[in-house]
């Protein structure tokens, strides 16, 4: 019988998973080693972070979206802009509990947006979505502050054209915020499901814009 050689077994090298592409980026340097800083330094750092994130989100012209806002999220800025929007409308419309209603709509709406994208298969972060929506309502928050200032002048509030001006302002700022949100969400949604993923964002900004108009005419 002819001898035959058994094939030698060569162990294959173990393939290590590429964790660098899957892991989120590390926190920036200004968020590290903050234990020994003073209260004033902490407040200034948080304020500077809010201003930087606001610029990264809101100023969307002629540049790509910065994903650091979504991956390295914070809740101070969204809470700040949510309070500006809610308190301004409550003072403008002189309706009690308007702050609670607006803050609840913003939070629940952001949660629905995150869950909707997750159900459709997108890689979404709930806290990152709340952070992003909160920064994207910054134009609406400043518009609400303008509406409150306008309501201080009773003569202007009584004019019919002021409602039209505020409606145009609300539409412009809502589209601005929606465009800013789309610049970030298009990176986490599944191709071919863009409309199904972002229509809750459109509905949320439409509701906030209606609140803005209501604050002027109420």
Q: Per-residue pLDDT for 110 more than 80? A: yes
Structure tokens at 39: 């209260």
In a domain, 4, yes or no: no
In a domain, 209, yes or no: yes
In a domain, 62, yes or no: yes
pLDDT given for residue 158 in this prediction: 60
| Percent of the chain residues topping a pLDDT of 70 | 72
In a domain, 23, yes or no: no
Distance CA 132, CA 37 (A): 27
Distance CA 84, CA 129 (A): 19
Name the pLDDT band for 154 (thresholds 50, 70, 90): low
The pTM is what?
A: 0.74
CA 133, 75, 208, 116 dihedral sign is positive
In a domain, 2, yes or no: no
- 33, 93, 114, 145, 205 from 140: Cα distances, Å: 35, 16, 21, 9, 9
In a domain, 19, yes or no: no
In a domain, 21, yes or no: no
Structure tokens at 55: 């610029």
Across 48-62, 127-141, 186-200, the highest mean pLDDT is recorded for 127-141
pLDDT given for residue 19 in this prediction: 47
In a domain, 17, yes or no: no
Q: Per-residue pLDDT for 47 more than 70? A: yes
- What's the whole-number mean pLDDT along residues 178-194? 79
CB atoms within 10 A of CB 41: 11
Name the pLDDT band for 12 (thresholds 50, 70, 90): low
Q: What is the count of structural domains for the chain? A: 1
- The answer to whether 134 touches 204, Cβ cutoff 8 Å, is no
pLDDT given for residue 165 in this prediction: 85
Q: Per-residue pLDDT for 98 more than 60? A: yes
pLDDT given for residue 209 in this prediction: 92
Q: Per-residue pLDDT for 163 more than 70? A: yes
78: containing domain: 30-217
């Amino acid at each position: 019988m002819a001898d035959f050689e058994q094939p030698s077994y060569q162990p294959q090298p173990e393939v290590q998973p590429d964790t660098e592409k899957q892991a989120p980026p590390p926190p920036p340097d200004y968020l590290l080693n903050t234990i020994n800083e003073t209260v004033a330094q902490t407040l200034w750092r948080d304020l500077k972070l809010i201003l930087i994130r606001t610029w990264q989100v809101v100023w969307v012209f002629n540049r790509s979206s910065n994903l650091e806002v979504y991956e390295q999220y914070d809740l101070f800025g969204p809470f700040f802009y949510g309070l500006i929007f809610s308190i301004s409308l409550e003072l403008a419309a002189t309706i009690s509990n308007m702050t609670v209603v607006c803050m609840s709509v913003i939070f629940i709406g952001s949660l629905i947006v995150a869950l909707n994208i997750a159900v459709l298969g997108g890689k979404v972060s709930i806290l990152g979505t709340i952070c992003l929506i909160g920064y994207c309502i910054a134009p609406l928050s400043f518009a609400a502050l303008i509406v409150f200032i306008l309501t201080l002048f009773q003569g202007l509030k009584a004019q019919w054209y002021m409602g039209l001006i505020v409606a145009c302002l609300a539409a412009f700022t809502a589209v601005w915020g929606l465009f800013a949100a789309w610049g970030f969400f298009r990176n986490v949604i599944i191709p071919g499901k863009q409309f199904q993923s972002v229509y809750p964002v459109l509905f949320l900004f439409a509701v906030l814009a209606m609140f803005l108009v209501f604050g002027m005419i109420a």
